[in-house]
């Protein structure tokens, strides 16, 4: 399912908590399902940060040095 503005707008605290729970427990049949949820959580963090603040530990925001 593509990440669209409409899809992001449909999330609330409960649905983000469910998403985060799946990521925390790595509750997936395939690695690609987990990656899909991770991308979704990152998109929510960018577009709806008020919903993802409690789950910031689930996505990498560490700066890195390319040198």
Pick from 65, 59, 64: nearest CA to 23: 59
pLDDT at 62: 53
Q: Is residue 37 part of a domain?
A: yes
pLDDT over 60 (residue 61): no
10 belongs to a structural domain: yes
State the DSSP code for 10. T
Count the Cβ atoms, other than its own, within 10 Å of residue 1: 6
Mean pLDDT over all residues of the chain? 89
Residue 1: per-residue pLDDT: 83
Is 25 within a domain? yes
C-alpha 34/C-alpha 50 separation (Å) is 22
User: Does some domain include residue 67?
Assistant: no
In-domain check, residue 65? no
Domain hosting residue 28, numbered range: 5-57
Q: Is residue 27 part of a domain?
A: yes
- 43-64 residues labelled b (16+ CB within 10 A) or e (exposed): bbbeeeeebbeebeebeeeeee
Residue 62 inside a domain? The answer is: no
Report the domain count for the chain.
1
């Amino acid at each position: 399912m593509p990440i669209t503005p409409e899809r992001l707008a449909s999330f609330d605290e409960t649905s983000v908590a469910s998403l985060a729970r799946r990521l925390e427990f790595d509750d997936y049949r395939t690695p690609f399902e987990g990656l899909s949820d991770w991308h979704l959580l990152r998109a929510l963090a960018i577009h709806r940060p008020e919903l993802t603040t409690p789950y910031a530990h689930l996505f990498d925001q560490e700066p890195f040095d390319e040198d």
